Structure 1
Amino acid sequence: MESLVEMDERYNPYTGKRLVPGIDDVTPRAASMGLEPPRFCEHCGRRMIVQVSPDGWWAKCSRHGVIDSSLREQQR
């Protein structure tokens, strides 16, 4: 069983580094402009399978499923 600390951990989807409250995490410029898809899962930090096409992208984590560019746009 996972502890609450592990369940609350978040990771930078562009670098894979664990996010620490109170410490700024740098997002690559291309990612902040919406030009780069996430490469790491925000929930577990694992590298994802990423497919980029002219009209968007999708990324798949083996544990947490698929996200795509249309879902990201809705979150903004």
Structure 2
Amino acid sequence: MTELVESTAPQRWCDRCGEPAEAGAHEACAAARALEPPRYCAHCRRRMKVQVVPTGWSAVCVEHGEIRG
């Protein structure tokens, strides 16, 4: 059984567009993220399974687990 551990490492990938976080400006991504859930895992760049419900959202990375908002 594996346990999911929250990483304290800095974000390597943009969680909206999937591009490297330090490559260029991501102002449009940050603005869009205020209204919508992440689409990519910020740790490994995998596309996440996202579910949006009236009370919020959840996004699941097969490697790093689930986040909610």
Taking structure 2 as the reference length, what is the TM-score of the superposition?
0.73
For the pair shown, the structure with the greater C-alpha radius of gyration is 1
Alpha-carbon RMSD:
2.1
Match for 1:46: what amino acid? Answer: R
Of the two structures, which has the highest relative contact order with CA contacts closer than 8 Å and spacing of 6 or more? 2
Once the two structures are aligned, what percentage of the paired residues are identical? 42
Match of 2:12 among 10, 13, 19: 10
Match of 2:31 among 29, 44, 58: 29
Q: How many pairs does the alignment contain?
A: 60
Q: Which has the higher helix share?
A: 1
State the shift of 1:20 in Å: 2.1
Spell out structure 1 runs of 4+ moving beyond 3 A.
none
Could you list the runs of 5+ residues in structure 1 that have no partner in the other structure?
A: 1-6, 70-76
